Structure 1
Amino acid sequence: MPSVTYGTSRIAFYEEMKQTAKSSNQPLTTPILGTMAAVSGFLGAIFGTPSDIANVRMQNDRSLPPQQRRNYQNVLDAWVQMKRNEGWRSFRQGLWPNCFRSGIMTASQLASYDSFKRLLTQLSGKSDDNPLTHFSASLLASLVATSISSPMDVIRTQLMSSSSNASVYQAVRDLIRSEGHRWLFRGWTPSFVRLAPQTIATLVLLEQHKRIYRALKVEEA
C-alpha cells in the first residue's frame, strides 16, 4: 500500500515537472532535478503517510510485549483501530519528518539516477542509454539514497511506532541518550537490501515503459 500511494505519486509528480521544464526549454541541471525530486517526494509523502504509519506499526508489533501489541490484521484494519483508539491525529503522526525524509530520499534517488545516467552515457560514448546504463545508474542511486535518508528513516520509524505525540527533538534526544550517534546509520544494510532492488526494478521498468510509449507516439505520428 505505501508503494502504491507514495511511490507512484512521487514518480508521477517528478516526471510531470521534468516534462514541463523540457517544454519550456529549461536546462535540467542536477540542482534543478534535485529540487524537482525533493518537491515530488514531499508531496508524495503527504498521500502515503497514513499507509506508512500502518506499515511501520505492523512491522514493529512483534518486537513489543504481547500486552502492548496492536495486532492489526491489515492496513484497513490498522486505520480503523487508529481512528477508534487515537483519533484522526494518529493519521498525521510523524507527517512532517516523513515528508522531509521523502523529499531528501527522492532527491537523492531520482535526481542522482538521472545524473548518474547522464554521466554513464557520456563515459560510454554512446548517443543513447541502454538497460545496463539504467541498472548501473539505479544501483548507484540506491547507495546515495540509502546513505542520505538513513537518519531520517530512524526518526520516522521512532515517531510512527509510538502512540505518544512526541516531537522530532524528543525523538532525537532519546536516540542519542540510548545509542549515542550510532543511531544515524542504524539499519543501513537492511535498508539498502530493501531499497536497491526496489529502486532498480522501478527505474529500469520505468525506462522501458517510457521507451515503449515514445515508440507508440512515433507510430501514431
Structure 2
Amino acid sequence: MILMGMCGGVVGSFFGNPAEVALIRMTADGTLPPEKRRNYKNVFNALGRMWKEEGLLSMWRGCSATIVRSAIVNGTQLSTYTQVREMLKPVIGDGPHLYVLAALMSPIATTLVVMPVDNIKTKVQNAKGKANPMKMFTSVIKNEGILVFWHGMIP
C-alpha cells in the first residue's frame, strides 16, 4: 500500500509542479515588500512569465521536494487508512462507521509526517534562484527549532 501510494504521488506531483509553483508564488506575493512582488495576474500569467523570464525549467523548481512530499502524503495516507480499517474491523464491525473512523484517523498521521517536508518544499519553491532543501532543513532547525515544522498543525 505504501509503495502504490508513493508511486501515484510521484507521477501526479511531477506533472502538477508548475501549477504548485505558481500558487506558492502568488500566495507569498502579498507578504513581500512592493518592490519584490511578482504581481502575477493569474496562474496563466504566472506560468507564462516564469517560462519567459526564468526559463521553462523554473516551473519545476522544487520538484524534488514536491515529489518527496507527495510520495510521503500518498504513502502515509493510503497505508494508514488501510491499516486502521483492518485493525478496527474485528472490533467495531463493517459498515460506514468503520470507514468514517479510518478516514478521520488517516489525515492525522499524514499531517504529522508531512508537515516538515511541506514546510521545506514551500521555502524551496518560493526561493529566488537555486535552493538546497537539505540546507534549508538544517537552517530551519538551527534558527527556529524543530517544533516550528508543526506550527499551525491544528488548522
TM-score (norm 1): 0.65
- Percent identity over the alignment is 30
For 2:65, the equivalent position in structure 1 comes to 97
**Alpha-carbon distance, 1:154 to partner:** 0.4
Contact conserved, 1:101 with 1:152, CA < 8 A, in 2? yes
For 2:132, the equivalent position in structure 1 comes to 167
Matched, 1:41 2:9: yes
For 1:113, the equivalent position in structure 2 comes to 81
Structure 1: distance between partners of 2:57 and 2:151: 28
Matched, 1:146 2:146: no
Structure 2: distance between partners of 1:134 and 1:55: 32
Deviations 1:93-133 (A, max 9, x none): 1111110111011111122112222223222233xx32x32
Matched, 1:156 2:132: no
Structure 2: distance between partners of 1:56 and 1:117: 34
Q: Which of 72, 78, 89 is 2:46 aligned to?
A: 78
Structure 2 SS opposite 1:189: coil
TM-score (norm 2): 0.91
Counterpart residue identity of residue 83, structure 1: W
Matched, 1:57 2:22: no
More displaced 10-residue stretch of structure 1: 111-120 or 86-95? 111-120
- Structure 1 151/76 Cα, relative in aligned 2: closer, same or farther at 3 Å? same
Contact conserved, 1:154 with 1:186, CA < 8 A, in 2? no
For 1:185, the equivalent position in structure 2 comes to 150
Structure 1: distance between partners of 2:51 and 2:104: 39
Contact conserved, 2:92 with 2:98, CA < 8 A, in 1? no
Unaligned runs of 5+ in 1: 1-32, 191-221
Counterpart residue identity of residue 143, structure 1: I
Aligned length, in residue pairs: 155
Structure 2: distance between partners of 1:114 and 1:133: 11
Structure scoring higher RCO (CA < 8 A, sep ≥ 6) equals 2
Contact conserved, 1:154 with 1:183, CA < 8 A, in 2? no
Structure 1 SS opposite 2:145: helix
Structure 1: distance between partners of 2:140 and 2:34: 24
Structure 1: distance between partners of 2:23 and 2:93: 44
Structure 2: distance between partners of 1:123 and 1:173: 43
